[in-house]
Amino acid sequence: MKQSIKGTGASPGLAIAKAYLIKPEEAYTPVQSKVDQPESEAARFQDAVRQAQADLQQIRASTEHKLGADKAEIFEGHLMILEDPDLIDAILEQIRDNAVNAEYALYETSQSFIEMLSQMDDELLRERAVDIKDVTGRIMRHLRGTQQADLSLLTEECIIVAEDLTPSDTAQLNLGAVRGFVTVIGSRTSHSAIMARSLDIPAIVGAGPELRHIRPGTLLVIDASEGILLVDPTSEELAEYREKKTRYDRRKAELARWVNRQTASRDDRRVELVANIGKLEDVQKALDNGAEGIGLFRTEFLYMGRKELPSEEEQFGSYKFVLEKMAGKPVVIRTLDIGGDKELPYLDLPKESNPFLGQRALRLCLERPELFRTQLRALLRASRFGNMKIMFPMIAVLEELLEAKRILEEEKRKLVAEGQTVAERIEVGMMIEVPAAAVSADLFAKEVDFFSIGTNDLIQYMMAADRMNETVSYLYQPCHPSILRMIRMVIVAGRQQGKWVGMCGEMAGDETAIPLLLGLGLHEFSMSAGSILPARELISRLSQEQWSAFAEQAMTLTSQEDILTFVRTHTQGGHQA
């Protein structure tokens, strides 16, 4: 069965090994039966709980040893479920009051919890449903005396093929043997995916029911960076992927030594490499990839995929989490940027014929101040937990910035009057993504602490080319002389007023653009976590002074194509300036 199956790459990398199948636990629905001695049935249940507790303590200890205390926290949560009176006492009550068998009471009670929690909008509650399923499954196995495959005992190299993996399955994988895993269901944010990333093994999740046809021992190739699984590859494919894997592994090993370093050019100019994040899980990835901070937290993701606005309290919790996790490193949090391609159906906003030119981002926030004020209050309250900077998106004219700052100040005064603690000093900056703001950056520079250039939008507005429209995507030309000149203008304007200038559009992580941006004097480069180490290594090979001259030269060329050729000539083949 030669086949290529597409799924979601949950943890990058390549693996080649034989399939080891984990059969889904047979569906078991216990039948209700009466017991003569409910008290001894209750004791049998408590015994199974104690055995589950012993398992979990052992898994927690070995996870802590292998992966550190924060990864072992999941099992702390599992142990707490075993002590949760709402669940455990309810089961005991059912056994005692109705004189039913423990299996039935466990199944009935846990099922109602799992069903209720899995329908919740809140992702954390849905994850709790998965945890309860995992824990109660464990108690059930002890009650029934059945065994689950012990994944820590696997000794032969393999790729695990499973319906889904629970966090405890994942934590128990013997990394001496398991080369990767692939599951039928799951998403990038499922617990098993998160564990795979921390274990640093390639994984594909959500690969669908075709996986169920794979036979034990079939040769598999995982290319998780592409989300592709090859089943029974041809010898040509195998040779191709072996070579790809060797290149990947070599590059990864080379890059790993850059994780804990500062970023500096060959002539010792310091710049900062920071990460773009959208979800709380992204923070760990940013840290693992050596981010020196967060350059863009797209907070609109906290508002998406749900049915109502997140409360002030919920937002406060999210911002506090990120700030604490980054432990004093800078965290730039952008206020809500909804509109354009990012919709919030529950806000019932009127349809616009040009949404990217419509009531987006700060424009919407100024129109709906209650929305804006809730977010600002949450941000201000969280500010004392780290090094927070607030950034406003989509500003075109100075009045918008001044109004946003006024509202921020007003909320700050109110909070202080209420006796809340707000950080002494919070830097306030703006995105430069509207050409009007870019050309008058000198006028804005007096009013902000920093600029961050949002090239994804800036380029679409400069080129008058919708970033969602494939047919005009050829006009997305970050290294076009017009764009580079505009960027230079913003950097110069910021510098003249002593303000730092960063970039958080995709261009900041583009290896061809980086030498030019370094040359133009960009201070902070914010990009997806995976791009940080290659960028750090690249910058270490470049001379800022030399690239400053090259950037000037590049901007006299007439097309992006000529500029790209120019950059490549000066960065390749040991001829590095």
Active site residues: 191, 504
One-letter amino acid at 32 equals Q
The count of residues in the chain is 577
CB nearer ligand PEP, residue 30 or residue 355: 355
Shortest Å, Cβ 452 to Mg ion: 10
- Work out how close the CB of 298 gets to ligand PEP at its nearest, in angstroms, rounded to a whole number: 5
Which residue type occupies 573?
G
Residue 524 contacts which entry, Mg ion, ligand PEP, none (Cβ below 5-8 A, type-dependent): none
Smallest distance, ligand PEP to C-beta of residue 367, A:
19
Instruction: Please give the Cα distance from 490 to 432 (Å, whole number).
Output: 8
Of residues 117 and 501, the one with the C-beta less far from ligand PEP: 501
Partner whose binding site includes residue 449, from ligand PEP, Mg ion, none (CB under 5 to 8 Å by kind): none
CA dihedral 8, 355, 504, 306 (to 10 degrees): -50
Q: Which does 504 bind (CB under 5 to 8 A by kind): Mg ion, ligand PEP, none?
A: ligand PEP
What kind and span of H or E run contains 256? helix 235-256
User: H or E segment at 19?
Assistant: strand 14-22
Q: Which is nearer to ligand PEP, 282 or 457 (CB)?
A: 457
Contact 542, 522 (CB under 8 A): no
Kindly state the smallest distance separating residue 273's Cβ from ligand PEP, in Å.
16
Q: Using the minimum distance from each CB to ligand PEP, give the nearer residue, 45 or 372.
A: 372
Q: Quick one: DSSP state of residue 278?
A: S
Positive/negative CA dihedral, 518, 521, 524, 527: negative
13: left (phi over 0), alpha (psi -120 to 50) or beta: left
Measured from the CB atom, the residue of 14 and 432 that comes closer to ligand PEP is 432
Beta strands in 103-206, from DSSP E residues, in sequence order: 158-162, 178-183, 203-205
Give the residue among 381, 376, 387, 384 at the shortest CA–CA distance from 418: 381
Structure-token pair, residue 313: 């309290």
Q: Which is nearer to Mg ion, 91 or 362 (CB)?
A: 362
β-pairing, 228-231 vs 3-6, is antiparallel
| Shortest Cβ 458–Mg ion spacing (Å) | 8
Nearer Cβ to Mg ion (317/435): 435
- How deeply is 415 buried, as exposed, middle or buried, from its count of CB atoms within 10 A (0-12, 13-18, 19+)? middle
Q: CA–CA separation, 74 vs 55, rounded Å? A: 14
Sheet holding 219-223, edge to edge: 3-6, 228-231, 219-223, 14-22, 158-162, 178-183, 203-205, 8-11
Q: Which helix (H) or strand (E) holds 569?
A: helix 560-571
Residue 103, binding choice from ligand PEP, Mg ion, none, Cβ under 5 to 8 Å by partner class = none
The listed partner (Mg ion, ligand PEP, none) that binds 505, CB under 5 to 8 Å by sort, is: ligand PEP
DSSP code of residue 562? H
Distance separating alpha carbons of residues 330 and 295, to the nearest angstrom: 8
Q: Which does 298 bind (CB under 5 to 8 A by kind): Mg ion, ligand PEP, none?
A: ligand PEP
Specify burial of residue 569 (Cβ count, 10 A radius: 0-12, 13-18, 19+).
exposed
Provide the minimum distance between the beta carbon of 438 and ligand PEP in the complex, in angstroms, as a whole number.
Answer: 12
CA 372 to chain CA mean position, Å: 24
DSSP string of 339-407, one letter each residue? BTTB--GGG-PPP-SSGGGSS-HHHHHHHSHHHHHHHHHHHHHHGGGTEEEEEE-S--SHHHHHHHHHH
Q: How many CA atoms lie within 13 A of 259 on its CB side?
A: 11
Query: Residues in the site for ligand PEP, rule: CB under 6 A?
Result: 296, 298, 337, 433, 454-457, 504-505
User: What is the smallest separation between the CB atom of 457 and Mg ion, expressed in angstroms?
Assistant: 4
Q: How far is the CB of 395 from ligand PEP (least distance, A)?
A: 12
Nearer to ligand PEP, 192 or 335 (CB): 335
Closest distance of CB 341 from ligand PEP, Å? 8
Cβ-count burial 64-85 (b if 16+ within 10 Å, e if not): beeeeeebbebbeebeebbeee
Provide the residue type at 336 as one letter: L
Partner interacting with residue 152 (select from Mg ion, ligand PEP, none; CB below 5-8 Å by kind) = none
Taking the complex as a whole, the smallest distance from the CB of residue 454 to ligand PEP amounts, in Å, to: 3
Helix (H) or strand (E) holding 59: helix 38-67
Q: Are β-strands 272-277 and 294-298 bridged in parallel, bridged antiparallel, or unpaired?
A: parallel
CA–CA separation, 488 and 486 (whole Å): 5
In the complex with ligand PEP, which residue's Cβ is closer, 184 or 487? 487
Residue 523 interface partner, choices ligand PEP, Mg ion, none, CB cut-off 5-8 Å depending on type: none
> What, of ligand PEP, Mg ion, none, does residue 170 touch, CB below 5 to 8 Å by kind?
none
Cβ proximity to Mg ion, 195 vs 362, nearer residue = 362
Residue nearest to Mg ion (CB): 457
Report the interface residues with Mg ion, using CB under 5 A: 433, 454, 457
